[in-house]
Structure formats: C-alpha cells, structure tokens
Amino acid sequence: MLTALLLAATAPDFDPFRFFAGQTRGEGQLKVVFRARTPIAVRGVGRVEADGTLVLDQTVREGSKPPRTRQWRLRRLSPTRYQGTLTDARGPVIGDVEGPRLHLRFTSTDGFRVQQWLTLAADGRSAANHLQAKRFGVTVATLEERITRID
C-alpha cells in the first residue's frame, strides 16, 4: 500500500491521449493456463483525429506466430472516463482513470472478459500493463508488459 501511495504522489495522471500519441513499444510475457509463457512485442503508432478520437494502430508479435495488427479508437467522455472500440473486442471498450492508473474493460472477440490496468511511471514515458482474461469467472490468461514511448 505504501508503494501505491508513493506512486500516486509522484506519477502524473494517466492521459491516454498524451501517452499513446506518437510511437510506443511494448514488451512482455503472456501466460495462458496450461501453456508456457510466450513473449509479446507490440509496436504502436497513435494519433488524435480532428474529432478528438485517439486512434492507436498496433502490430503484435506473439511468440513465433505471424505478426497481427489491431486498432484502438478511444473518445474522452469526461476528464476520467473513456469509451471506444478495439478490433480484438466485441462491443465497447470502457476506460476509467484514477490518478496514474488507466483501467480498461472489454469482451474479446473470443468471448473472454478482459481487464487491463496501465500504471504510468513517474517519468510519464513508460507504463506497466497488467491484463487478465477470464472465462466463466476463471482467469485463463495474464499479460505483464512494459510500454514505453519511443519518440
């Protein structure tokens, strides 16, 4: 708890528009139940369109699988609330910011309930991403990733 208080005192509020505009790089490990950990590498290019929508195009490399692309589109509903779409999601993506933390929720196209917590580092240039995917209330996959702004 002390770590959380110190982090909240030093890190700026998470602004996904500021963080994801430009180029980002993510590296992490995906753990699916009954499988070995798999390395994940994500390259992103984000921009804010004239209507205020954040568009984030990503290329995802998962282990030895061929690269795949996906796109996030987020709109700010209030200073701390976001809604949008993801090509890997069925239905809306909902996001809430509380200080340096962005909490995203959506249902994947495969029917998994996904929650992500992105915690901004004090320097504002990197974030820890913790993702959980659940089916019938049971966690079936987790992702631990470090995302860094590279421009």
**Domain that residue 107 falls in:** 2-149
122 in Cβ contact with 109 (< 8 Å): no
Query: Tens digit of pLDDT for each residue in 3-47?
Result: 554 444 567 899 999 999 999 999 999 999 999 999 999 999 999
Confidence check: pLDDT of 124 > 60 = yes
Query: Tens digit of pLDDT for each residue in 52-109?
Result: 999 999 999 999 999 999 999 999 999 999 999 999 999 999 999 999 999 999 999 9
Q: Which residue has the tokens 């320097």?
A: 123
> The domain spanning residue 78 has which CATH number?
2.40.128.20
5 in Cβ contact with 100 (< 8 Å): no
First to last CA, the chain: 33
CA distance 107 to 134: 9
Residue 69 half-sphere exposure toward CB, CA atoms < 13 A: 4
Counted domains in the chain: 1
Rounded mean pLDDT of 118-130? 97
pTM above 0.85, yes or no: yes
